[in-house]
């Protein structure tokens, strides 16, 4: 499977179009849609777009354990931390998603990657999250990580859990009531994990 690289090449470039030509219409439409998504390394010029997505996501307070009042400076310092690789997803030339990839721990834990993903609310459900996740798994393998771990997947975030499970992640831990959801109160949180060695 072709994957995007840090130079910004879309991961779908190089795919055969012949298969698509004989595929059902909805598959063609989906393929076309995905071809419009490019995942690439973030640059300084993406900071405004990233902050806009980040701010909108954390303001809802229902998926991430960030302070909803986190400032732009704090958010971007976290998203562009020295040990962190930062990426964006573009669709029709607009940044609609962003993700980070870094070691989950230092020292004896640094062979396990951690990642976090954010998709602009108006672009959710259009394949952006999956494109970024597959790009992320490829990048993590290339960097030599042996596994990837999500420390804090809120159990009410069904689309995310479904996607991670489709991509081979398993729930390896359940933290009882570890997230205070703005509408649902205290809900469980999952730790999800997958090896990067087995395929």
Using the minimum distance from each CB to its own copies, give the nearer residue, 37 or 58.
58
Using rule CB under 8 A, residue 125 touches its own copies: no
Distance between CA atoms of residues 136 and 130, nearest Å: 10
- Cβ 100 vs Cβ 148: under 8 Å: no
C-alpha distances out from residue 90 to 10, 17, 41, 54, Å: 10, 21, 11, 15
Stretch that binds its own copies, among 34-42, 65-73, 118-126, 127-135 (CB under 8 A): 65-73
Give the residue, chosen from 24, 93, 144, 182, that forms a contact with its own copies under the rule CB under 8 A: 182
Applying CB under 8 A, does 65 fall inside the site for its own copies? yes
| Contact indicator for 100, 116 with CB cutoff of 8 Å | yes
Is there binding between residue 174 and its own copies (CB under 8 A)?
Answer: yes
Based on the shown chain and the rule CB under 8 A, indicate whether residue 177 belongs to the binding site for its own copies: yes
3-state secondary structure of 24: coil
Whichever of 45 and 106 has its CB closer to its own copies, that residue is: 106
Residues 5-34 that bind its own copies (CB under 8 A): none
For residues 142 and 146, which CB has a smaller minimum distance to its own copies in the complex?
146
Question: Taken in order 21, 23, 26, 29, is the CA torsion positive or negative?
Answer: negative
């Amino acid at each position: 499977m072709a994957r995007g690289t840090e130079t910004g090449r879309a991961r779908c470039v190089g795919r055969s179009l012949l298969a698509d030509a004989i595929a059902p219409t909805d598959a063609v439409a989906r393929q076309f849609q995905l071809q419009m998504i490019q995942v690439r390394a973030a640059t300084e010029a993406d900071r405004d777009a990233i902050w806009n997505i980040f701010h909108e996501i954390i303001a809802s307070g229902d998926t991430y354990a960030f302070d909803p009042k986190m400032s732009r400076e704090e958010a971007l310092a976290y998203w562009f931390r020295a040990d962190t690789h930062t990426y964006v997803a573009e669709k029709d030339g607009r940044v609609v998603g962003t993700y980070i990839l870094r070691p989950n721990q230092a020292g004896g834990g640094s062979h396990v990657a951690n990642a976090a993903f954010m998709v602009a609310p108006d672009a959710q459900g259009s394949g952006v999250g999956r494109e970024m996740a597959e790009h992320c798994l490829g990048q993590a393998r290339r960097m030599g990580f042996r596994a990837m771990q999500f420390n804090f997947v809120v159990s009410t975030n069904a689309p995310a859990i479904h996607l991670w499970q489709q991509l081979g992640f398993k729930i390896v831990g359940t933290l009882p009531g570890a997230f205070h959801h703005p509408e649902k109160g205290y809900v469980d949180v999952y730790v999800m994990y997958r090896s990067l060695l087995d395929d």
